[in-house]
Structure 1
Protein backbone atom coordinates (compact mmCIF):
# COMPACT_ATOMS: atom_id res chain seq x y z
CA UNK A 1 0.00 0.00 0.00
CA UNK A 2 2.76 2.45 0.91
CA UNK A 3 4.46 1.84 -2.44
CA UNK A 4 1.39 3.24 -4.20
CA UNK A 5 1.59 6.57 -2.39
CA UNK A 6 5.33 7.31 -2.42
CA UNK A 7 5.20 9.55 -5.53
CA UNK A 8 2.32 11.56 -4.14
CA UNK A 9 4.10 11.95 -0.79
CA UNK A 10 7.27 13.02 -2.59
CA UNK A 11 5.37 15.70 -4.53
CA UNK A 12 3.83 17.02 -1.31
CA UNK A 13 7.23 17.10 0.38
CA UNK A 14 8.78 18.98 -2.57
CA UNK A 15 5.83 21.36 -2.62
CA UNK A 16 6.26 22.11 1.05
CA UNK A 17 10.01 22.56 0.63
CA UNK A 18 9.55 24.95 -2.30
CA UNK A 19 6.84 26.88 -0.47
CA UNK A 20 8.88 27.47 2.71
CA UNK A 21 11.95 28.60 0.76
CA UNK A 22 9.98 31.10 -1.36
CA UNK A 23 10.21 34.78 -0.41
CA UNK A 24 6.89 35.77 -1.95
CA UNK A 25 3.91 34.31 -0.04
CA UNK A 26 1.59 34.39 -3.05
CA UNK A 27 4.13 32.56 -5.19
CA UNK A 28 4.68 30.00 -2.44
CA UNK A 29 0.94 29.35 -2.40
CA UNK A 30 0.74 28.94 -6.16
CA UNK A 31 3.72 26.58 -6.25
CA UNK A 32 2.33 24.52 -3.39
CA UNK A 33 -1.04 24.19 -5.15
CA UNK A 34 0.76 22.98 -8.28
CA UNK A 35 2.61 20.33 -6.28
CA UNK A 36 -0.62 19.25 -4.56
CA UNK A 37 -2.24 18.82 -7.99
CA UNK A 38 0.72 16.72 -9.12
CA UNK A 39 0.45 14.65 -5.96
CA UNK A 40 -3.21 13.91 -6.68
CA UNK A 41 -2.45 12.97 -10.28
CA UNK A 42 0.33 10.61 -9.19
CA UNK A 43 -1.75 8.99 -6.46
CA UNK A 44 -4.23 6.12 -6.73
CA UNK A 45 -7.07 8.61 -6.10
CA UNK A 46 -7.72 9.37 -9.79
CA UNK A 47 -8.41 5.72 -10.58
CA UNK A 48 -11.53 3.72 -9.69
CA UNK A 49 -11.19 1.34 -6.76
CA UNK A 50 -8.70 -1.41 -7.51
CA UNK A 51 -9.51 -5.07 -7.19
CA UNK A 52 -7.21 -8.01 -6.77
CA UNK A 53 -6.29 -9.86 -9.95
CA UNK A 54 -8.37 -12.85 -8.82
CA UNK A 55 -11.46 -10.70 -8.21
CA UNK A 56 -11.06 -8.89 -11.53
CA UNK A 57 -10.56 -12.13 -13.48
CA UNK A 58 -13.59 -13.74 -11.83
CA UNK A 59 -15.83 -10.74 -12.50
CA UNK A 60 -14.53 -10.31 -16.05
CA UNK A 61 -15.24 -13.97 -16.80
CA UNK A 62 -18.78 -13.44 -15.53
CA UNK A 63 -19.66 -10.18 -17.32
CA UNK A 64 -17.00 -9.71 -20.01
CA UNK A 65 -15.72 -6.34 -18.80
CA UNK A 66 -12.06 -5.55 -19.57
CA UNK A 67 -9.31 -5.63 -16.96
CA UNK A 68 -6.69 -2.88 -16.81
CA UNK A 69 -3.49 -3.62 -14.92
CA UNK A 70 -1.93 -0.31 -13.80
CA UNK A 71 0.32 1.34 -11.24
CA UNK A 72 0.39 4.83 -9.69
CA UNK A 73 2.71 7.30 -11.35
CA UNK A 74 2.43 5.69 -14.79
CA UNK A 75 1.75 8.46 -17.29
CA UNK A 76 0.38 6.01 -19.84
CA UNK A 77 -2.06 4.64 -17.25
CA UNK A 78 -3.11 8.20 -16.43
CA UNK A 79 -3.59 8.95 -20.14
CA UNK A 80 -5.78 5.85 -20.51
CA UNK A 81 -7.79 6.74 -17.41
CA UNK A 82 -8.30 10.31 -18.59
CA UNK A 83 -9.44 9.25 -22.06
CA UNK A 84 -11.91 6.74 -20.63
CA UNK A 85 -13.60 9.47 -18.62
CA UNK A 86 -16.82 8.23 -17.01
CA UNK A 87 -16.45 4.88 -18.83
CA UNK A 88 -13.55 4.04 -16.48
CA UNK A 89 -16.07 2.57 -14.05
CA UNK A 90 -16.95 -0.09 -16.64
CA UNK A 91 -13.43 -1.51 -16.42
CA UNK A 92 -11.85 -3.57 -13.65
CA UNK A 93 -8.66 -1.90 -12.41
CA UNK A 94 -5.84 -3.90 -10.80
CA UNK A 95 -3.01 -1.97 -9.14
CA UNK A 96 0.04 -4.19 -9.66
CA UNK A 97 1.90 -2.50 -6.79
CA UNK A 98 -0.81 -3.63 -4.37
CA UNK A 99 -1.40 -7.09 -5.82
CA UNK A 100 1.49 -9.51 -6.45
CA UNK A 101 -0.83 -11.76 -8.48
CA UNK A 102 -1.67 -8.81 -10.71
CA UNK A 103 2.04 -8.11 -11.24
CA UNK A 104 2.56 -11.80 -12.05
CA UNK A 105 -0.30 -11.70 -14.57
CA UNK A 106 1.31 -8.71 -16.30
CA UNK A 107 4.70 -10.44 -16.37
CA UNK A 108 3.07 -13.51 -17.93
CA UNK A 109 1.45 -11.37 -20.64
CA UNK A 110 4.45 -9.15 -21.39
CA UNK A 111 7.15 -11.79 -21.32
CA UNK A 112 8.67 -10.97 -17.95
CA UNK A 113 8.40 -7.24 -17.39
CA UNK A 114 5.72 -5.16 -15.69
CA UNK A 115 4.77 -2.82 -18.52
CA UNK A 116 1.50 -1.05 -17.79
CA UNK A 117 -1.16 -0.36 -18.70
CA UNK A 118 -1.81 -3.90 -19.78
CA UNK A 119 -5.40 -4.47 -20.83
CA UNK A 120 -7.20 -7.80 -21.16
CA UNK A 121 -10.46 -7.49 -23.09
CA UNK A 122 -12.40 -10.34 -24.62
CA UNK A 123 -9.53 -12.78 -24.19
CA UNK A 124 -7.14 -10.42 -26.00
CA UNK A 125 -4.24 -8.90 -24.04
CA UNK A 126 -2.72 -5.62 -25.23
CA UNK A 127 0.23 -3.84 -23.64
CA UNK A 128 -0.02 -0.04 -23.54
CA UNK A 129 -2.90 0.19 -26.00
CA UNK A 130 -4.07 3.39 -27.60
CA UNK A 131 -6.94 4.67 -25.43
CA UNK A 132 -9.25 4.61 -28.46
CA UNK A 133 -8.79 0.84 -28.68
CA UNK A 134 -10.33 0.35 -25.23
CA UNK A 135 -12.97 3.05 -25.72
CA UNK A 136 -14.09 1.23 -28.87
CA UNK A 137 -14.48 -2.04 -26.96
CA UNK A 138 -16.47 -0.34 -24.22
CA UNK A 139 -18.87 1.33 -26.65
CA UNK A 140 -19.42 -1.78 -28.78
Structure 2
Protein backbone atom coordinates (compact mmCIF):
# COMPACT_ATOMS: atom_id res chain seq x y z
CA UNK A 1 0.00 0.00 0.00
CA UNK A 2 1.29 3.44 -0.94
CA UNK A 3 2.11 6.08 1.66
CA UNK A 4 3.39 9.64 1.24
CA UNK A 5 5.60 12.03 3.22
CA UNK A 6 4.69 15.54 4.35
CA UNK A 7 7.54 18.04 4.77
CA UNK A 8 7.82 21.76 5.49
CA UNK A 9 9.61 23.65 2.74
CA UNK A 10 11.68 25.92 4.98
CA UNK A 11 13.11 29.10 3.48
CA UNK A 12 10.79 29.07 0.48
CA UNK A 13 8.02 31.66 0.18
CA UNK A 14 6.18 30.37 -2.87
CA UNK A 15 5.80 27.44 -5.21
CA UNK A 16 7.44 29.52 -7.94
CA UNK A 17 10.49 30.04 -5.74
CA UNK A 18 10.77 26.28 -5.08
CA UNK A 19 10.37 25.59 -8.81
CA UNK A 20 13.13 28.11 -9.65
CA UNK A 21 15.48 26.76 -6.97
CA UNK A 22 15.00 23.17 -8.15
CA UNK A 23 15.50 24.12 -11.81
CA UNK A 24 18.94 25.49 -10.91
CA UNK A 25 19.75 22.51 -8.67
CA UNK A 26 18.86 19.82 -11.22
CA UNK A 27 21.51 21.19 -13.60
CA UNK A 28 24.16 20.23 -11.02
CA UNK A 29 22.88 16.96 -9.53
CA UNK A 30 19.77 14.78 -9.23
CA UNK A 31 17.06 16.32 -7.04
CA UNK A 32 17.18 15.17 -3.47
CA UNK A 33 16.23 16.40 -0.03
CA UNK A 34 18.42 15.40 2.90
CA UNK A 35 16.61 14.52 6.10
CA UNK A 36 17.89 13.42 9.48
CA UNK A 37 15.74 10.33 9.91
CA UNK A 38 15.33 7.45 7.46
CA UNK A 39 11.71 6.43 6.87
CA UNK A 40 11.04 2.86 7.95
CA UNK A 41 8.20 2.41 5.42
CA UNK A 42 10.52 2.51 2.40
CA UNK A 43 8.65 -0.06 0.31
CA UNK A 44 5.34 1.78 0.75
CA UNK A 45 6.94 5.14 -0.08
CA UNK A 46 8.55 3.81 -3.26
CA UNK A 47 5.30 2.17 -4.35
CA UNK A 48 3.97 5.41 -5.87
CA UNK A 49 4.54 7.68 -2.86
CA UNK A 50 5.28 11.40 -3.07
CA UNK A 51 6.82 14.10 -0.92
CA UNK A 52 4.16 16.75 -0.27
CA UNK A 53 5.62 20.23 0.29
CA UNK A 54 4.12 22.57 2.90
CA UNK A 55 4.86 26.16 1.86
CA UNK A 56 3.75 29.04 4.08
CA UNK A 57 1.29 26.89 6.05
CA UNK A 58 -0.33 25.10 3.09
CA UNK A 59 0.42 21.93 1.17
CA UNK A 60 0.98 23.37 -2.30
CA UNK A 61 2.83 20.74 -4.31
CA UNK A 62 4.15 17.21 -4.44
CA UNK A 63 7.04 15.34 -6.02
CA UNK A 64 7.16 11.61 -6.61
CA UNK A 65 9.73 9.79 -4.49
CA UNK A 66 12.08 7.78 -6.70
CA UNK A 67 14.50 6.52 -4.07
CA UNK A 68 15.90 6.69 -0.56
CA UNK A 69 19.67 6.71 -0.18
CA UNK A 70 21.87 6.74 2.91
CA UNK A 71 24.09 9.81 3.31
CA UNK A 72 27.05 10.11 5.68
CA UNK A 73 27.65 13.61 7.05
CA UNK A 74 30.85 13.15 9.03
CA UNK A 75 29.82 10.88 11.90
CA UNK A 76 26.09 11.45 11.35
CA UNK A 77 23.94 9.22 9.17
CA UNK A 78 21.20 10.92 7.18
CA UNK A 79 18.79 9.98 4.39
CA UNK A 80 18.49 11.48 0.91
CA UNK A 81 14.93 11.53 -0.39
CA UNK A 82 15.45 11.22 -4.14
CA UNK A 83 12.81 13.23 -6.03
CA UNK A 84 11.32 13.17 -9.49
CA UNK A 85 11.96 16.41 -11.40
CA UNK A 86 8.24 17.11 -11.95
CA UNK A 87 6.82 19.43 -9.29
CA UNK A 88 3.04 18.90 -9.32
CA UNK A 89 0.84 21.67 -7.87
CA UNK A 90 -1.88 20.44 -5.52
CA UNK A 91 -5.07 21.93 -4.17
CA UNK A 92 -4.01 24.00 -1.19
CA UNK A 93 -4.48 22.29 2.15
CA UNK A 94 -3.69 24.06 5.45
CA UNK A 95 -1.11 22.37 7.69
CA UNK A 96 0.36 23.32 11.04
CA UNK A 97 4.14 23.51 11.45
CA UNK A 98 6.00 20.39 12.57
CA UNK A 99 9.58 19.23 12.74
CA UNK A 100 10.99 16.72 10.29
CA UNK A 101 8.60 14.81 8.06
CA UNK A 102 5.33 13.01 8.69
CA UNK A 103 3.71 10.08 6.94
CA UNK A 104 0.65 11.08 4.94
CA UNK A 105 -2.09 8.60 4.15
CA UNK A 106 -3.22 8.81 0.50
CA UNK A 107 -6.82 9.47 1.58
CA UNK A 108 -5.63 12.63 3.39
CA UNK A 109 -3.47 13.93 0.52
CA UNK A 110 -4.76 16.91 -1.46
CA UNK A 111 -5.60 16.28 -5.13
CA UNK A 112 -3.33 17.43 -7.93
CA UNK A 113 -4.17 20.63 -9.78
CA UNK A 114 -3.93 21.12 -13.49
CA UNK A 115 -4.19 24.50 -15.17
CA UNK A 116 -7.66 23.69 -16.50
CA UNK A 117 -9.03 22.70 -13.07
CA UNK A 118 -8.49 25.78 -10.94
CA UNK A 119 -8.56 29.47 -11.78
CA UNK A 120 -5.79 30.09 -9.23
CA UNK A 121 -3.21 27.91 -11.01
CA UNK A 122 -1.26 30.83 -12.49
CA UNK A 123 -2.02 33.44 -9.80
CA UNK A 124 0.75 34.76 -7.55
CA UNK A 125 0.97 32.79 -4.29
CA UNK A 126 0.32 35.85 -2.12
CA UNK A 127 -2.92 36.65 -3.98
CA UNK A 128 -4.17 33.07 -3.68
CA UNK A 129 -3.40 33.05 0.05
CA UNK A 130 -5.28 36.31 0.59
CA UNK A 131 -8.30 35.13 -1.43
CA UNK A 132 -8.39 31.88 0.57
CA UNK A 133 -8.17 33.75 3.90
CA UNK A 134 -11.12 35.91 2.79
CA UNK A 135 -13.07 32.78 1.90
CA UNK A 136 -13.43 33.83 -1.73
CA UNK A 137 -11.91 30.65 -3.16
- Normalised to the residue count of structure 2, the TM-score between the two structures is 0.25
Point out the structure with max Rg over C-alpha: 1
Higher RCO (CA-CA < 8 Å; seq separation 6+): 2
Structure (1/2) with the larger strand percentage: 2
Structure (1/2) with the larger helix percentage: 1
